[in-house]
A and B are shown apart, each in its own frame.
Chain A
């Protein structure tokens, strides 16, 4: 990786974070009512003027707007994201706690979906036009078209309600109050959310991998390999697969944003106590400090995915150094 590229990436990341923060700052000022009306929803009307003044002073609302903005931006970088209105604890604390639970379902779902999507997509693209390929393609398009919330609801109804194979929601049984959290119990609760997120994600990876494989399969070096008399499996493994996988790495970013969206619906439906359900709860009670924290964390997740893609790229393709334009 060369210096210019790193600087570019760093600049984009910091700029994205700053824009997220700035949007929230502007939103806070555009909102109907003052900060205090939001904080003391029902009783602010009765607050004496000197209390209001003291409140504004504590939150720096009596300073010039530019100074407020700079302070706001600095605090965002320092990790001082304010207090959640419902939980009454620092936003970052709430989010940190929930983020772990989101990762418990997000990481396995993404890993499985990436592996399966690449595998099935490569096979489908390699055998293009065959009955298997058409069937797989149609099946994937079908699953992709189902809204994630509807898919989650149907999976819940079928597997948890009618077949009674898995719990209806939550992350542990009530027995955990006595016995403590049992990892097996958590895993049992996590199966359906992971399955839904997996289905949601695998179709995208599959579709991309298949397209990429279609392009690769038409390349001259594949024809050459075949002319050399190599068997199909060797060509697929040693020549086609590696090259077809390259465009996949850059897709990680888009996939990450999609998974954040998916997890909001999936966690809400399965009552999984992660960032997604936190978003839903914060929306319901209009907890703006918490919502802005969630937006910032989501931005950071996408940035992290970007950087991960940059780091993975040279591993998949040793020829090119990322961003090395000559």
Chain B
């Protein structure tokens, strides 16, 4: 069915982006920061996407920008999923006071708007790209805790867990060997969805002009292009490619996330009554 094709295409796109990010020094014709000719050149064989106002090669910057995007998305998602899974399992497994305390804390934390807070933190501490990714992961982990915890709640009273307990297994052992494998699929879906989310947010920071200036990222490229009149001057090769690049990877991850969610939640699966 067409669904399989779309899934294969999504995975293909994600892998292609990873390859481009890894091979950036080989693929990119120029150093992304180097001055390579006249500024604001239209596309030609020398510069596939022309040059920007600083005479940097836009194609090379686009290639290098893949790295920042994937780093922001995947590191942020990894942090979110690890915290969400660990806290979610402990909270759901022990229940009682521990669970109550964690849940109230999350109620409060979720009332604070994450994005404005992230904006303030990045503006004043000017963190590098890695810290920014970790920060996003930390601030975004609350919802993940909830999702994992609600799954663990039913697992914690399942017969196989009670049985293992009766055999004398310790709590740590049960959580690591019996609960964790059962929430891994859910954590996997959360990883894909978070990666997409954090890529968009990370590039959004660059777009608002508060990205890490030492790295090339698509958000800063879009920002620079729109701030310097690329739209009015009709320089589409400056403004459009970075936006299309973000949209494509975002779509691929969204499709993958949707397909996975569909797979592990049979009630959502399309069926005719």
Q: Is B151 at the interface (CB under 8 A from chain A)?
A: no
Chain A residue contacts of B121, Cβ below 8 A = 27
Q: Mark A290-326, 1 if CB is under 8 A from B, else 0.
A: 0110110011011100100000000000000000000
Q: Please report B residues at the A interface, Cβ cutoff 8 Å.
A: 104, 107-117, 119-121, 123-125, 143, 196, 200, 203-204, 207-210, 222, 226, 231-232, 239, 243, 246-247, 250-251, 253-255, 258, 267-268, 270-273
Segment with Cβ contacts to B, from A69-77, A149-157, A186-194, A239-247: A149-157
Contact A299 B247 (CB under 8 A): no
Partner of A265, one of B125, B204, B232, B239: B204
Partner of B196, one of A145, A268, A269: A145
Q: Is A56 at the interface (CB under 8 A from chain B)?
A: no
Contact A214 B267 (CB under 8 A): yes
Q: Is A98 at the interface (CB under 8 A from chain B)?
A: no
Cα separation A326 to B110 with both chains bound (whole Å): 27
Contact A257 B115, CB 8 Å, known A145-B247, A147-B247, A283-B123? yes
The size bracket of the interface on A is: 35 or more
23 residue pairs bridging A and B, Cβ less than 8 Å apart: A12-B111, A15-B108, A20-B112, A23-B112, A23-B117, A27-B121, A30-B125, A128-B270, A141-B258, A142-B251, A147-B204, A149-B222, A153-B231, A153-B243, A218-B273, A223-B273, A260-B113, A260-B115, A261-B113, A264-B115, A265-B204, A295-B112, A298-B113
The 3 closest A-B pairs by CB, nearest first: A16-B111, A145-B254, A261-B115
Cα separation A150 to B241 with both chains bound (whole Å): 11
- Find residues 157-187 in chain A having any chain B CB closer than 8 Å to their own CB: 157, 161
Contact B108 A19 (CB under 8 A): yes
Cα separation A49 to B208 with both chains bound (whole Å): 38
Contact A147 B203 (CB under 8 A): yes
Contact B113 A302 (CB under 8 A): yes
Cα separation A294 to B120 with both chains bound (whole Å): 10
Chain B residue contacts of A292, Cβ below 8 A = 120
A251 to chain B, nearest CB (A): 12
Cα separation A30 to B232 with both chains bound (whole Å): 42
Cα separation A13 to B246 with both chains bound (whole Å): 36
Given contacts A27-B120, A149-B204, A261-B115, 14 further A-B contacts (CB under 8 A): A133-B270, A145-B254, A146-B251, A147-B200, A153-B226, A217-B273, A223-B273, A264-B116, A265-B204, A283-B119, A288-B120, A288-B124, A292-B120, A298-B113
Closest residue of chain A to B118 (Cβ to Cβ) is: A261
Partner of A141, one of B110, B254, B267: B254
B82 to chain A, nearest CB (A): 22
Chain A residue contacts of B108, Cβ below 8 A = 12, 15-16, 19
Cα separation A19 to B110 with both chains bound (whole Å): 11
A322 to chain B, nearest CB (A): 15
Cα separation A15 to B104 with both chains bound (whole Å): 10
A156 to chain B, nearest CB (A): 8
Chain B residue contacts of A284, Cβ below 8 A = 209
A232 to chain B, nearest CB (A): 12
Contact A286 B272 (CB under 8 A): no
Contact A27 B124 (CB under 8 A): yes
Contact B114 A257 (CB under 8 A): yes
Contact A141 B115, CB 8 Å, known A147-B250, A283-B123, A286-B123? no
- Find residues 214-257 in chain A having any chain B CB closer than 8 Å to their own CB: 214-215, 217-218, 223, 253-254, 257
Q: Is A39 at the interface (CB under 8 A from chain B)?
A: no
Closest residue of chain B to A258 (Cβ to Cβ) is: B115
Contact A129 B272 (CB under 8 A): yes
Contact A157 B111 (CB under 8 A): no
Q: Mark A122-154, 1 if CB is under 8 A from B, else 0.
A: 000000110001000000011011111110011
